[in-house]
Amino acid sequence: MPLNHVALTVADRARSAAFYGEHFGLTERILDDQHLLILGAADGSELALSDTEAVPTDLPRTNHFGFRLADEAAVHAARERFRAAGVTETEWQDDGRFIRVQVLDPDGYLVEVYAH
């Protein structure tokens, strides 16, 4: 059974929606009310965003979620788009078996783009 969605608490839903729309294709507004914004992508992925006063700043470095891409070239292309947009990169791995880049979203959540 495939994973359908991730839910995050964020400081600014509009800012987060713009980030995930631009960089991850989550542009469809499935639900947008005073408590929750659910974004969707053409591939069926969904991301739920709810507001909070203070986003935790001390999450373990292993807490993240990822987007699997088709191949190594797609990961390299995503990395270049992140760099051009000024998105903060936290990790890069390319060991011939697994390739990934981890970046920070506007609230400091780790998001991974990978292929293997």
Spans of all domains in the chain: 1-53, 63-116
Q: What pTM did the predictor assign?
A: 0.91
User: Distances from the Cα of 8 to the Cαs of 27, 55, 88, 95, in angstroms?
Assistant: 16, 9, 19, 31
Average pLDDT over residues 21-46: 95
Average pLDDT over residues 90-112: 95
Condensed to tens digits (0 to 9), the pLDDT of residues 2-11 reads 778 999 999 9
* CATH tag for 1-53 (out of 3.30.720.120, 3.90.79.10, 3.90.1570.10, 3.40.50.720): 3.30.720.120
Answer whether residue 20 shows pLDDT above 70: yes
Answer whether residue 1 shows pLDDT above 80: no
Domain 1-53 matches domain 63-116 at the CATH topology level: no
Condensed to tens digits (0 to 9), the pLDDT of residues 37-67 reads 999 999 999 999 999 877 777 888 788 999 9
Quote the mean pLDDT of the chain.
Answer: 93
**46-51 and 37-40 as β-strands: parallel, antiparallel, unpaired?**
antiparallel
The CATH code belonging to domain 63-116 is 3.10.180.10
Work out the angle at residue 104's Cα, subtended by the Cα atoms of residues 79 and 68, and round it to the nearest 5 degrees. 50
